[in-house]
A and B are shown apart, each in its own frame.
Chain A
Amino acid sequence: SQQGEEDPQALSIQEGENATMNCSYKTSINNLQWYRQNSGRGLVHLILIRSNEREKHSGRLRVTLDTSKKSSSLLITASRAADTASYFCATDRGSGDKLIFGTGTRLQVFP
């Protein structure tokens, strides 16, 4: 079964709105990463948050991590049409040697 489960599976918003995606995982982790995949392309790393961090920012991205609830959220502020993509969380199940990807959230931003 998947280590990470993203929620919602799909999200449609208008440009300028904020988009929030959630990731839940099952086992302890060392770190959690978020990746973006544009249609027909490979995944691109967005941000990494360590298990001892609670929040991290990168440009319009804000990631939170709650290890007690085994969940993370990715917030994209002031979304743009170019943010249209699938977003995946990835965790290591505490092993620190390989990533297990979640099922992804498909984000559609309408201009």
Chain B
Amino acid sequence: DAGVIQSPRHEVTEMGQEVTLRCKPISGHNSLFWYRQTMMRGLELLIYFNNNVPIDDSGMPEDRFSAKMPNASFSTLKIQPSEPRDSAVYFCASSSYSRALEDTQYFGPGTRLTVL
């Protein structure tokens, strides 16, 4: 299995531009999580999906952030418009069970986003 796949691995953009991060979970996994990691705030859960349905988006910082999961094998996290404070590493993770703490989460390699 290829594991969780994220693209791009690095993204540099200018303030105000739209940014789209992509994630392909492990085949057969039915839960998908988006996290953001910064030195100041650590690892934060932004949103998670069960069976392609958003369950909890309380971690999404503001309306500039949106996430979709159109099917079981693909999810996107979009930031529009981007701001320098959005600079962080964004991780996608998937697990095979809806009760997240009863199952391992498998993390992708992350996308390092820099907003100038």
Q: Please report A residues at the B interface, Cβ cutoff 8 Å.
A: 2, 29-31, 33, 41-45, 48, 88, 90-92, 96-104
Contact = CB atoms under 8 A, between A and B. Distances in A.
A58 to B, nearest CB: 12
B109 A42 contact: yes
B105 A45 contact: yes
Contact of A33 (B56, B101, B108): B101
Given A42-B4, A104-B42, A99 B102 contact: no
B12 interface: no
Contact residues on B (Cβ < 8 Å of other chain), bracket? 20 to 34
The 6 closest A-B pairs by CB, nearest first: A42-B107, A92-B101, A45-B104, A101-B43, A43-B107, A96-B99
A98 B108 contact: no
Contact of B56 (A30, A98, A102): A98
B110 interface: yes
Nearest to B108: A42
B106 interface: yes
Interface of B: 4, 33, 35, 42-43, 45, 48, 55-56, 91, 93, 98-102, 104-110
A97 B99 contact: yes
Nearest to B107: A42
Nearest to A30: B101
Contacts of A104: 42-43
A99 B104 contact: no
Contacts of B45: 98-101
Contact of B107 (A44, A96, A98): A44
Contacts of A99: 33, 45, 100-101, 105
